[in-house]
């Protein structure tokens, strides 16, 4: 039984990869679950939506304590980072190289951390919705990521996390040679249908490319059905 609370959406057959979506501050493992079918309608991938391990005011689940936007609390960040790094491959049955990592808000911060952290393997793709690359003691980014493709979307009127964070992330990744699909909308701190309309095709392309690069399908998939582990 995993230490990471999660919901799981099985693939239609043997999975060609995995799609992991991490929720934002105050939500839970069910928040982004419907997005799995939107982004992967043919269910070629096994989908997992984990839950943050912290319960903090004003409610819901969290990945880390917020002290200042852009700068996660060190101890709670690293605890969640280690938990995700350890548990996700076991939950999906898929190697990191065939896993598309994504998130919203705090979930995007953790997705950036897992995808770009020094010493970490490069995932099949990175979906960053309304978040930022973290600045936190003990974590450093390694942007030497040949083949990594990132999708960044952010609202210009976001009152929670400034769009400047998205622009900075875009500039940093592009300067390192990472392919970036960048989208800004006129909305605030929410998922804008206009900025994610092209994501299903992008996810399919990234999954196919990762599967071809590895030359094999993923490992034995997890049991069918959604599950929660405590």
Segments of the chain scoring below 70 in pLDDT: 1, 214-230
Q: CA 226, CA 151: separation in Å to the nearest integer?
A: 26
User: Taking all residues of the chain, what is their mean pLDDT, rounded to a whole number?
Assistant: 92
Decide if 224 is inside a domain.
no
Q: Say which residue the tokens 């049955």 belong to.
A: 93
Q: Is residue 219 part of a domain?
A: no
Which pair of tokens denotes residue 104?
């919203």
Burial group, residue 121, by CB count within 10 angstroms (0-12, 13-18, 19+):
middle
The candidate with the shortest Cα–Cα distance to 36, out of 19, 17, 13, 15, is 19
Nearest to 106 by CA among 22, 188, 185: 22
| Residue 68 domain flag | yes
CA distance 80 to 97: 20
Distances in Å between the Cα of 67 and the Cα atoms of 18, 71, 73, 107 are 32, 7, 6, 16
Number of domains in the chain: 1
What is the separation of C-alpha 121 from the centre of its chain, rounded to a whole number of angstroms?
A: 14
227, part of any domain: no
Would you state the pLDDT for residue 126? Answer: 98
10 within some domain: yes
- Report how far residue 140's alpha carbon sits from residue 223's, in angstroms, rounded to the nearest whole number: 35
Beta strands per DSSP E along 87-124: 99-104
In a domain, 1, yes or no: no
Could you list the residue range(s) of the whole structural domain that residue 140 is in? Answer: 6-214
Instruction: Indicate whether 189 belongs to any domain.
Output: yes
pLDDT at 39: 96
pLDDT at 217: 52
Q: Residue 154: which CATH number? A: 3.40.50.1820
Q: Which residues pair with 179 in a beta bridge?
A: 149
| pLDDT given for residue 197 in this prediction | 85
Classify residue 226: in a domain, yes or no: no
**Residue 220: which residues within 8 A CB-CB, separation 6 or more?**
93
pLDDT value, residue 1: 63
């Amino acid at each position: 039984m995993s230490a990471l609370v999660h919901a799981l959406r099985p693939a239609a057959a043997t999975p060609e990869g995995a799609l992991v979506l991490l929720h934002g501050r105050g939500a839970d493992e069910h928040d982004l679950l419907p997005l799995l079918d939107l982004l992967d309608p043919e269910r070629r991938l096994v989908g997992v939506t984990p839950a943050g391990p912290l319960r903090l005011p004003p409610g819901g689940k969290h990945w880390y304590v917020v002290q200042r936007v852009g700068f996660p609390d060190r101890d709670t960040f690293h605890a969640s980072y280690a938990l995700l790094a350890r548990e996700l491959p076991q939950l999906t049955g898929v190697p990191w190289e065939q896993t598309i990592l994504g998130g919203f808000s705090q979930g995007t911060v953790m997705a950036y951390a897992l995808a770009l952290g020094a010493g970490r393997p490069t995932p099949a793709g990175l979906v960053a919705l309304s978040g930022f690359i973290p600045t936190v003691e003990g974590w450093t980014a390694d942007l030497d990521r040949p083949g990594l493709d990132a999708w960044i979307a952010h609202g210009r009127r976001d009152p929670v996390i400034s769009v400047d964070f998205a622009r900075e992330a875009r500039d940093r990744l592009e300067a390192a040679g990472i392919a970036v699909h960048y989208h800004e909308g006129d909305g605030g701190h929410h998922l804008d249908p206009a900025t994610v309309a092209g994501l299903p095709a992008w996810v399919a392309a990234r999954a196919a490319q990762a599967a071809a690069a590895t030359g094999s399908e993923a490992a034995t998939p997890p049991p069918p059905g959604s599950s929660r582990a405590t």
